[in-house]
Amino acid sequence: MKHPLALLALLAATAAGAETPRGLLDTYAAEAASRTPGFQASARRGADFFGRRFGVSEKMPACVSCHTEDPAQAGRHAITGKDIKPLAPRANPARFTDAAKAEKWFGRNCGEVVGRPCSAAEKADLLRFLAEGA
Amino acid sequence: MKTALCALLLAAGLPLSARADRLPLPADAPPAYAAECGSCHLAFPPALLAAADWRRVMAGLDRHYGDNAALDADTARVIGDFLARHGGNADRYANAGTPPRLTATAWFQRKHRKVPSPLWQDARVRSAANCSACHPQAEQGRYGERDIALPELRHRREH
């Protein structure tokens, strides 16, 4: 709520109902830039984040625990064994086309795996990595 | 006993879908059920756990079998009401344990008594909650023995 403009942009995008991964990336990048002037999303940092072992959760220590090292491949839930469709929009165009859904899963998974909410900068970096590869 | 039950079902005019190997989701399942509960595991047939046990599950979503599955209050109410409406018979699905697991109930254990225990840890299965590993048409509510995917289990049935 510290950045009403970014929040407004996100809500406006939600109201439009047809977001794109690029649009979400831009929204997160703009929010990050409002805190860190000159911020540019980095696929390299996104890849590092995606592969990092946070170790907060025993069964889900990292993003790759469920989504595998290659987010363009199908994953598998580390606890239930359920198949997970590819996370990368380049492999699964349905990904990151709903801002509210993206926020819900960032909320759940960042809390579970990272142990805290993810920053807008981390989300922007991750989205660039998922969209473009490292 | 089984014959008597079949006769009773026939007498009651129940459709085939009422048989235990057919467990489709009730038609009034709210979209949130598949969206919220069906993302990390199969959207389980609500009849496989008693309503009181579903209430216990819904009361502890922030500590959900090793994962945080917390929902906003409105979504939790819609899903909780649905599960309470369709929860199964408390005797048949007794002994779900704490936290309640539909894989621990008397019914589930009886139905799976011939499954060799190492198979539950098999890489293809990983969890007893992974219904689709052995029942590939579970999402369509089909759990018939003929559909079982793992060859070892098919073999076991034939002998």
Domains of chain A: 4-132 (1.10.760.10)
Cβ contact A77:A66 at 8 Å: yes
The CA distance from B152 to B23, in Å, is 24
Query: ipTM for the complex?
Result: 0.78
Contacts of A17 (CB under 8 A, 6+ apart): none
**pLDDT over 90 at B130, yes or no:** yes
The whole-number average pLDDT for the span A77-84 is: 94
What does the CA dihedral A111, A115, A118, A123 come to, rounded to 10 degrees? -80
The whole-number average pLDDT for the span A9-25 is: 70
Question: What pLDDT does A11 receive?
Answer: 53
Lowest mean pLDDT among A39-48, B6-15, B127-136, B147-156: B6-15
pLDDT digits (tens, 9 = 90+) for B1-21: 455 554 544 444 444 444 568
A15 confidence band (pLDDT: 50, 70, 90) = very low
Q: Tell me if the bond preceding A93 is cis, omega within 30° of 0.
A: no
The CA distance from A34 to A20, in Å, is 21
Residues of B with CB under 8 A from a CB of A: 40-42, 65-70, 125-127, 129-130, 132-133
Please name which of A116, A82, A98, A132 lies closest in space to residue A24, comparing C-alpha atoms.
Answer: A98
Q: Which chain B residues contact residue A94 at CB under 8 A?
A: none
Question: What pLDDT does B15 receive?
Answer: 45
List the Cα angle A63/A27/A83 in 5-degree steps: 30
- Smallest CA–CA distance, residue B27 to chain A, in Å, is 23
Check A79 against B67: CB less than 8 A apart. yes
Q: Strands A83-84 and A75-76: what pairing?
A: antiparallel
- What share of chain A in percent tops pLDDT 70? 87
For chains A and B, CB pairs below 8 A equal 36
Residue predicted with more confidence, A3 or A28: A28
pLDDT digits (tens, 9 = 90+) for B30-69: 999 999 999 999 999 999 999 999 999 999 998 999 888 9
Token digits for A25? Answer: 């990336």
Check B130 against A80: CB less than 8 A apart. yes
Please, what sign has the CA dihedral across residues B71, B74, B78, B84?
positive
Question: What pLDDT does B112 receive?
Answer: 95
**pLDDT over 50 at A81, yes or no:** yes
> How many CA atoms lie less than 13 Å away from B98 in the CB half-sphere?
0
Residues of A with CB under 8 A from a CB of B: 57-60, 76-77, 79-83, 108, 111-112
Domain ranges of chain B: 25-102, 112-159
**Residue type at B11 in one-letter notation:** A
